[in-house]
Amino acid sequence: MGTTVEDVVIVGAGIAGLATAVALKRAGVEALVLERSEGLRTTGTALILFPNAWFALDALGVSHKLAAYAPIPKGYVTDLDTGEVREISFTGANGDTVGPKPVHRKVLLEALADELPVHSIRFSSKISAIETQQHEGSSIAIIHMESGTVIKAKVLIGCDGVHSVVSRWLGFGEPVLSGRSAVRGLAVYPQGHGLSQNVQHFVGLGRRAGMVALTDKEIFWFFSCTAKGITLYQLQGPSLAKDPKDIQKEVLEKYAKDLPHLYRDVVQHSNLSTLSWAPLMFRYPWQVVYGNLSKQNITVAGDAMHPMTPDLAQGGCQALEDAVILGRHIGTSFVQNGRILVPKEMSEVLGKYVEERRWRVALLIMGSYLSGWVQQSGSGWVMKFLRGTIFYKFISPKLFRIVRYDCGKLEF
Ligand SMILES: Cc1cc2nc3c(=O)[nH]c(=O)nc-3n(C[C@H](O)[C@H](O)[C@H](O)COP(=O)(O)OP(=O)(O)OC[C@H]3O[C@@H](n4cnc5c(N)ncnc54)[C@H](O)[C@@H]3O)c2cc1C
């Protein structure tokens, strides 16, 4: 059982953890990333990244590696109950397509990981507990690994996802279940699918489905539905299918049997290894606004800070913003102190990061939840009014402005 001391330890090699390590590296700060899995985890197959994520990827210096992914020009939302179709244009004021782009999760994670020295990501390394120790008037994090190893760090950043050990240490409980679950999958057409680049959504009472072309041979699809009264135990247990073949059958025969043939064909073409159900969870926004998102030299980023429902496709985008802003605060202190990480300053530095983030991510948690609720709550006249008059006319344009936010460069 050895003990080592690191400048920065990041828990989790997901989008948040890897992007934070890349942001710190740009300032010259070395970080050790601890990941419990044996390799990069690519559950979820693909994700959609809005312009805010691309600004962050520019700052991290990796967006050029993802240049093959094209922006989505338009979205179509079909109301399954009324048949009404709403068109959403992603064309900017000067005619450019400023739409989101779908990317393979694996490609994104590898693009980030490739920026880091090989030895800086330690796989099969699960943290089990955290404590702090005072040393010469400042705090040092003591990280206990499941293997028995103990690592000390001047700064500890929890990027360990929805069930974060680090956010529990900060005083947060488990995130809440939204009452919905989702499946994501990748459909493969070896001869090409011939579909346009537009994103298609189908929404109805308690259901939301979507699909978008990733390449000319692959389509990313998702399906979410209400799972009323289902407990966390049941969601992780036997209530929703686990075997990929059963998941595909369940979507086709139970939940999406009345969806357009095109969507069902996509589900039928799924690469089975990509299918899994996930309970959709979020943190109450007021907990993010008023909670301790940092304490002494310990903080959180990504889903560990702000789990949100995927209705605005912002979880990963916000993780990238977190990384740039956290990297900028720590990096600036490092550079100003002659390229040394001064433990005494870290509490204040992390505090500034948290204050820059908390209102924005709380707003997005709320916006995502509302967006899902308004779109999937049926076609009664009240919901129609809320959806058509309030949501699409007033709230949606504001949300789209929020997801075009530029978190700035990483220049030291
Ligand atoms: C159905 C669905 C659709 C989505 N679609 C989109 C989308 O289109 N666009 C978008 O931007 N976002 C989307 N999201 C959200 C996005 O997937 C997440 O917000 C994002 O993956 C969060 O990244 P993260 O790095 O914070 O967490 P994670 O990806 O969960 O990574 C956490 C890492 O920490 C590791 N870890 C956990 N505990 C420990 C431990 N104790 N010790 C060591 N390592 C540990 C895990 O193994 C994992 O690798 C979607 C989410 C869902 C559920």
DSSP bridge partners of 223 = 183, 209
Strands 85-89, 121-122: parallel, antiparallel or unpaired by DSSP? unpaired
Residue type, position 359, single letter? W
CA 45 to chain centre: 13
Task: Give the closest residue (by CA) to ligand 1 atom 39.
Answer: 160
Distance 14 CA to ligand 1 centre (A): 6
Instruction: Give domain limits for the chain.
Output: 3-44+105-175+283-382, 176-282
pLDDT band, residue 237 (cuts 50/70/90) = very low
Q: Residue 403 contacts by C-beta under 8 Å, 6 or more apart in sequence?
A: 50, 51, 52, 100, 312, 314, 317
Q: Which residue has the higher pLDDT, 122 or 180?
A: 122
Q: Which CATH superfamily hosts domain 3-44+105-175+283-382? A: FAD/NAD(P)-binding domain (3.50.50.60)
Distance from C-alpha of 152 to C-alpha of 157, rounded to nearest angstrom: 13
176-282: CATH topology: D-Amino Acid Oxidase; Chain A, domain 2 (3.30.9)
Distance from C-alpha of 113 to C-alpha of 5, rounded to nearest angstrom: 22
Provide the pLDDT for residue 279: 87
pLDDT band, residue 359 (cuts 50/70/90) = very high
Tell me which H or E stretch contains 351.
helix 343-375
Residue 91 DSSP code: B
Q: Which of 34-43, 193-202, 238-247, 348-357 has the highest mean pLDDT?
A: 348-357
Provide the pLDDT for residue 96: 67
> What are the two backbone dihedrals, phi and then psi, of residue 136, each rounded to the nearest 5 degrees?
50, 45
Provide the pLDDT for residue 376: 74
In contact, 362 and 286? CB cutoff 8 Å: yes
**Residue 288 scores a pLDDT above 90:** yes
CA 114 to chain centre: 20
Mean of per-residue pLDDT scores for the chain: 91
Q: pLDDT tens for residues 310-341?
A: 999 999 999 999 999 999 999 999 999 999 99
Ligand 1 site-directed mutation target among 15, 174, 180, 208, most atoms within 8 Å of CB: 15
| Residue 385 CB-density burial (10 A; 0-12 exposed, 13-18 middle, 19+ buried) | exposed
Q: pLDDT tens for residues 171-187?
A: 999 999 988 889 999 99
Average pLDDT over residues 339-363: 97
* Angle at the Cα of 203 from the Cα atoms of 200 and 205, rounded to 5 degrees: 170
Phi-psi category of residue 407: left, alpha or beta, with phi > 0 → left and psi -120 to 50 → alpha = alpha
Provide the pLDDT for residue 233: 46
Residue written as token pair 């995927």:
310
Strand, coil or helix: 112: helix
DSSP bridge partners of 87 = 76
Task: Give the closest residue (by CA) to ligand 1 atom 17.
Answer: 316
Q: pLDDT tens for residues 141-169?
A: 999 999 999 999 999 999 999 999 999 99
Distance 49 CA to ligand 1 centre (A): 14
The atom number, within ligand 1, closest to the CA of 13 reads 49
Cα Rg of the chain, angstroms: 21
Ligand 1 site-directed mutation target among 10, 20, 22, 36, most atoms within 8 Å of CB: 36
Provide the pLDDT for residue 102: 96
* Angle at the Cα of 21 from the Cα atoms of 20 and 26, rounded to 5 degrees: 95
Ligand 1 site-directed mutation target among 33, 60, 151, 160, most atoms within 8 Å of CB: 160
**Residue 81 scores a pLDDT above 50:** yes
Q: pLDDT tens for residues 204-221?
A: 888 899 999 999 999 999
Provide the pLDDT for residue 97: 65
Q: Which residue has the higher pLDDT, 240 or 191?
A: 191
